[in-house]
Amino acid sequence: MNSPFMDMALDEARAAAARGEVPVGAVLVDGATGNVLARAGNRTLELNDPTAHAELLAIRAAAGQAGSQRLSGADLYVTLEPCAMCAGAISFARLRRLYFAASDPKGGAVEHGPRFFGQPTCHHRPEIYGGIGEGRAAELLQSFFRDRR
């Protein structure tokens, strides 16, 4: 399945790679209108901030614009399976849907690791759709790390 929003997230991931960041991109969309609320790529190195993951940057920007910590009608498109920190933010923001491209067996927390949204302590679970544009996202990540070895 091809998605214009995942294409935008991949553009953000490519821009992150060009900055020397791990190539992960995210786009937050109003689920009712299809309007893009925010888009971001990883900036952990640039900002010297271990929390500056693409997902968190997009959520922060959209929540700031909305003037609310809750983004209950929003859908997140991200190029890599979110980690536990990002899954927590997705839950707290009450996002409606999560679409991710590549799985992350080492650091992912949706289908792998702690499976955050399946825990009884998780108070909000978005609808989850994995594998959207997986091949392109996986190749981008693999080539990024291959070039650094």
In eight-state DSSP terms, residue 78 is E
Q: Of these residues, 55, 81, 134, 139, which one is catalytic?
A: 55
Phi, psi torsion values for 35, nearest 5 degrees:
-75, 140
- Which residues are CB-neighbours of 87 under 8 A, at least 6 positions away? 109, 110, 116, 117
21 has catalytic annotation: no
- Are the beta carbons of 26 and 54 closer than 8 angstroms? yes
**Known catalytic residues?**
55
